[in-house]
């Protein structure tokens, strides 16, 4: 089957790219390896900037995709050394159930949605892409298109195949495993704030939240490090600081995050094959990536639309259009003044106490590690 554009990955980045290309009359296939709705281990906190991007392209987020409580006001940062800071969003955002939101975005993007269809290989020429895909036990098939937007997430197959050297040097070493554990329990915590914990001893940033009657604890770990150790430290800190008590069976969800942005590395693809979202390395220092995925998916699609019919490949325009966004991300990591990602860090940045200076130093070490 021949398409104008193939989009791989039905997360926010891929759905946004597919929607924007369909809106311009392109024939698009959205290729997703899992059956939809699929689980995506995620806090599901959608900043107001991300919510505005969704609303502009798809309309308001339907109530069926929202979690309880559905309003989020920002993040509370608890530092293991004692600091406690409120980092608000400029206005309230939303708490969503990722499986439902992503399925809704895929169903409304207007593309041919090929779920349960995994991209296993890619041949990319100047204006031609051939994707080799498999569906379960069936034989490998080929999908062809003029353009590709690969938004296939933290462990992007497209990045590995299109830029093997870059992948080996920058992406693979920065791939971080995450374990999200969801349990019933009690905690003295306003659920409209998502929690970020800055752990001592190289533990880095851990995340926690209360939604839909469950407590979620997410810890990062390298391939060689046991996640349980990080989870025990986080739970001990929350027992002490927020009266955490866990009950009943826990649900575990393993995932990965691509932290190559912490080293200042991004890859936007090449030629007619563009990378968006976490596949490109777009993840903010707190580990939030929904807004960046939506924004880059939209810019990738617009770059293809604007260069269609021209002799230059869309990658040139995409790089140019993404420059401001990438510079802003890098500047925020460096300067650490008013905002980092979508969060207002002025309470932390403005605190002159010795403890706050120590917390800022620990965060910067984490951002650049
Ligand atoms: C524990 C945790 C909590 C988080 N909490 C938040 C949060 O609260 N707010 C926030 O903004 N961000 C959060 N993030 C980050 C956020 O989940 C990601 O940055 C975001 O989902 C990236 O979107 P994406 O579209 O780039 O990729 P994804 O959403 O990861 O989607 C990629 C898709 O590609 C598919 N795919 C992969 N390989 C192939 C293939 N070979 N062929 C076809 N399809 C393929 C995958 O199945 C997946 O559906 C969290 C991450 C983790 C791990």
pLDDT at 225 over 80: no
Lowest-confidence region among 98-102, 138-142, 232-236? 138-142
Ligand 1 atom closest to the Cα of residue 38 is 49
Would you say residue 141 lies in a domain? yes
Within a domain: 68: yes
For 290-329, write each residue's pLDDT tens digit.
Answer: 999 999 999 999 999 999 888 889 999 999 999 999 998 8
Note whether residue 82 is domain-resident.
no
Weakest mean pLDDT among 110-124, 141-155, 338-352: 338-352
pLDDT digits (tens, 9 = 90+) for 48-60: 999 999 999 999 9
315 within ligand 1 shell (Cβ under 6 A): no
Q: Is the CB of 17 under 6 A from ligand 1?
A: no
Instruction: For residue 283, give the ligand 1 atom closest to its CA.
Output: 19
Instruction: Identify whether residues 226 and 104 lie together within a single domain.
Output: no
Task: Give the model confidence (pLDDT) of 82-92 as tens digits.
Answer: 899 999 999 99
348 and 252 belong to one structural domain? yes
Closest atom, ligand 1, to C-alpha of 209:
8
Is 148 a member of any domain?
A: yes
Three-state SS sequence of the chain:
CEEEEEEECCCHHHHHHHHHHHHCCCCEEEEECCCCCCCCCCCCEECHHHHHHHHHHHCCCCHHHEEEEEEEEEEEEEECCCCEEEEEEEEEEEEECHHHHHHHHHHHCCCEEEECCEEEEEEEECCEEEEEEECCCCCCEEEEEEEEEECCCCCCHHHHHHCHHHHHHHHHHHEEEEEEEEEEEECCCCCCEEEEEEECCCCEEEEEEEECCEEEEEEEECCCCCHHHHHHHHHHHHHHHHCCEEEEEEEEEEEEEECHHHHCCCCCEECCEEECHHHHCCCCCCCCCHHHHHHHHHHHHHHHHHHCCCCCCHHHHHHHHHHHHHHHHHHHHHHCCCEECCEECHHHHCCCCHHHHHHHHHHHHHHHC
113 and 64 in one domain? yes
For the chain, what is the domain count? Answer: 2
Show the domain range for 16: 2-72+92-173+260-335
40 lines ligand 1 (CB under 6 A): yes
Residues 44 and 152 in one domain: yes
pLDDT of residue 338: 77
State residue 329's pLDDT score: 87
- Centre of ligand 1 to C-alpha 130, Å, is 24
Hey, which of 290, 298, 301, 340 would you mutate to test ligand 1's pocket, going by the most ligand atoms within 8 Å of its Cβ?
Answer: 290
Residues 100 and 227 in one domain: no
Contact 180 CB / ligand 1 (< 6 Å)? yes
pLDDT at 204 (0 to 100): 81
Instruction: Identify whether 85 is part of a domain.
Output: no
Instruction: Give pLDDT, residue 275.
Output: 98
CA 33 / ligand 1 centre spacing (Å): 13
pLDDT class for 223, splitting at 50, 70, 90?
low
Instruction: Name the pLDDT band for 201 (thresholds 50, 70, 90).
Output: low
How many whole angstroms from 108 Cα to the centroid of ligand 1? 18
Among protein residues, the one with the nearest Cα to ligand 1's atom 19 is 289
pLDDT digits (tens, 9 = 90+) for 91-136: 999 999 999 999 999 999 999 999 999 999 999 999 999 999 999 8
**pLDDT (0 to 100) of residue 202:** 61
Tell me, in angstroms, the distance from the centre of ligand 1 to residue 312's CA: 30
Q: Decide whether any atom of ligand 1 lies within 6 Å of the 118 Cβ.
A: yes
Do 105 and 42 share a structural domain?
A: yes
Determine, yes or no, domain membership for 80. no
Q: Do 220 and 328 lie in a common domain?
A: no
């Amino acid at each position: 089957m021949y398409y104008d554009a193939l989009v791989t990955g039905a997360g926010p980045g891929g759905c946004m790219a597919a929607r924007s290309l369909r809106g311009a009359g392109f024939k698009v296939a959205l290729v997703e390896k899992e059956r939809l709705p699929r689980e995506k281990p995620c806090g599901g906190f959608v900043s107001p900037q991300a919510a505005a991007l969704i609303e502009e392209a798809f309309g308001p987020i339907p109530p069926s995709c929202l979690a309880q409580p559905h309003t989020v006001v920002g993040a509370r940062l608890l530092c293991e050394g004692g600091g406690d800071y409120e980092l608000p969003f400029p206005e309230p955002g939303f708490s969503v159930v990722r499986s439902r939101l992503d399925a809704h975005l895929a169903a409304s993007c207007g593309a041919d949605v090929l779920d349960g269809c995994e991209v296993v290989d890619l041949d990319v020429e100047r204006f031609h892409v051939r994707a080799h895909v498999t569906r379960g036990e069936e034989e490998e098939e080929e999908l062809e298109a003029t353009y590709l937007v690969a938004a296939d997430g933290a462990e992007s197959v497209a990045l590995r195949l299109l830029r093997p050297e870059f992948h080996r040097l920058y992406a693979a070493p920065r791939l971080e495993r995450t374990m999200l554990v969801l349990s019933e329990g009690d905690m003295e915590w306003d659920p409209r704030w998502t929690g970020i914990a800055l752990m001592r001893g190289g533990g880095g940033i851990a995340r926690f939240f209360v939604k839909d009657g469950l407590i979620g604890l997410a810890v990062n770990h390298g391939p060689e490090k046991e996640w349980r150790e990080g989870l025990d430290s986080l739970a001990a800190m929350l027992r002490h600081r927020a009266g955490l008590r866990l009950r009943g069976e826990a649900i575990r969800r393993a995932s990965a995050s691509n932290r190559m942005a912490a080293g200042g590395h991004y890859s936007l693809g090449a030629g007619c094959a563009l990378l968006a979202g976490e596949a490109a390395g777009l993840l903010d220092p707190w580990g939030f990536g929904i807004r960046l995925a939506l924004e880059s998916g939209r810019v990738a699609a617009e770059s293809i639309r604007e260069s269609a019919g021209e002799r230059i490949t869309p990658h040139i325009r995409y790089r140019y259009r993404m420059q401001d966004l990438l510079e802003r991300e890098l500047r925020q990591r460096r300067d650490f003044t008013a905002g980092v990602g979508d969060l207002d860090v002025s309470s932390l940045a403005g605190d002159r106490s010795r403890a706050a200076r120590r917390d800022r130093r620990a965060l910067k070490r984490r951002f650049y590690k």
